[in-house]
C-alpha cells in the first residue's frame, strides 16, 4: 500500500493527503476501508488522533495503537466502525497514555468480521509534557450530550459557544454549577467547534 505524507505544521502532523485504500480477503470475503485523512495533534499532555473514511466493508473493529520505538505497540483504544460503503465517517481518539516527551508513533489495526487483521500506517507526533489539567470534550463523536472539562487557566470557563466550521454559531450558553455538559442532540450531522470562555483554541467534535 502506498501512502502520501503531508507537511508538519507546528504540532500538527498531516498524513495521507491522498486517498488510501486498505483491503484484504478473509475466508473469501473482502474487508475494505478507504481512508481520506489521518492526523495526530498535540494538546498539552495528550495527543488528539483523527481519521476519516469514505468506505467501510466487512470491518469489525479499529484498534488504535501507539509506540515509542515502532517495535513494541500498546493499544490506545478500540473503536467500533460506524461507516459503510460510500459513507463519510469521522473518528476521534484522545490519547493520554504518553510515556514521556519526544516522538510517539501511531497506527490503526483493522480487524475484519472474520477476526483477521491488517495494519494501516505508522505516523509520529512530538508532544511535550504540559499542564496537569488538560482539556477534555467527550464522547467524540457524539449523538447528543457531551461533557466538557476546560483547559487550566481559562477565564469565564462556565460559558460556551458551539459553531459550525463556517463560523455560524448554533449554540451558546452557560454551564450550571457542577454540570458542565452541552446537549448537541438537535445539531445536524457534521463537524463543530466548541469554544470555552476566553480560550481561543476550539475543541473539534463530530456530531453523528
Instruction: Tell me what pLDDT residue 16 has.
Output: 36
- Tell me the C-alpha distance between 188 and 30, whole Å: 33
Looking at the domain assignment, is residue 61 inside a domain? yes
Whole-number pLDDT of residue 149: 77
* 63, 147: one domain: no
Q: 152 and 97, same structural domain?
A: no
Report if residue 60 sits inside a domain: yes
The boundaries of the domain holding residue 163 are 136-207
Cell of 149: 472539562
Q: Are residues 88 and 9 in the same domain?
A: yes
The answer to whether residue 193 sits within a structural domain is yes
Same domain, 30 and 105: yes
| 115 shares its domain with 50 | yes
CATH code of the domain containing 35:
2.60.40.10
Within-domain flag for 131: no
| Same-domain pairing of 121 and 148 | no
Specify which residues 103 forms β-bridges with: 126
pLDDT at 132: 45
- What's the pLDDT at 78? 92
Picking from 126, 146, 176, the residue at the C-terminal end of a domain is: 126
The pLDDT assigned to 163 comes to 93
Per-residue pLDDT of the chain (208 residues; tens, 9 = 90+): 222 333 322 233 333 334 567 776 766 778 888 888 777 777 666 788 888 889 898 888 999 988 877 788 889 999 999 988 988 899 988 887 765 556 778 888 888 887 878 877 656 665 554 444 456 788 888 889 998 877 666 667 788 999 998 899 999 998 876 568 899 999 999 889 998 888 888 888 889 8
Q: How many domains does the structure of the chain reveal?
A: 2
The reply to whether 86 and 161 lie within a common domain is no
Q: Tell me what pLDDT residue 96 has.
A: 78
Amino acid at each position: 500500500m502506498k501512502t502520501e505524507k503531508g507537511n508538519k505544521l507546528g504540532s500538527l502532523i498531516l498524513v495521507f493527503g491522498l486517498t488510501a485504500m486498505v483491503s484484504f480477503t478473509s475466508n473469501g470475503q473482502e474487508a475494505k476501508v478507504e481512508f481520506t485523512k489521518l492526523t495526530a495533534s498535540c494538546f498539552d499532555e495528550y495527543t488528539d488522533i483523527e481519521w476519516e473514511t469514505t468506505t467501510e466493508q466487512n470491518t469489525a473493529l479499529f484498534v488504535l495503537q501507539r509506540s515509542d520505538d515502532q517495535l513494541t505497540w500498546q493499544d490506545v483504544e478500540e473503536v467500533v466502525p460506524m461507516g459503510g460503503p460510500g459513507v463519510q465517517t469521522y473518528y476521534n481518539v484522545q490519547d493520554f497514555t504518553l510515556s514521556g516527551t519526544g516522538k510517539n508513533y501511531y497506527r490503526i489495526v483493522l480487524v475484519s468480521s472474520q477476526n483477521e487483521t491488517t495494519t494501516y500506517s505508522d505516523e509520529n507526533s512530538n508532544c511535550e509534557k504540559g499542564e496537569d489539567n488538560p482539556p477534555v470534550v467527550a464522547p467524540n463523536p457524539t449523538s447528543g450530550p457531551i461533557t466538557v472539562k476546560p483547559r487550566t487557566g481559562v477565564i469565564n470557563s462556565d460559558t460556551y459557544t458551539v459553531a459550525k466550521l463556517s463560523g455560524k454559531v448554533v449554540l451558546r450558553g452557560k454551564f450550571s454549577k457542577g454540570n458542565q455538559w452541552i446537549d448537541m442532540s438537535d445539531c445536524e450531522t457534521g463537524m463543530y467547534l466548541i469554544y470555552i470562555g476566553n480560550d481561543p483554541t476550539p475543541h473539534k467534535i463530530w456530531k453523528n
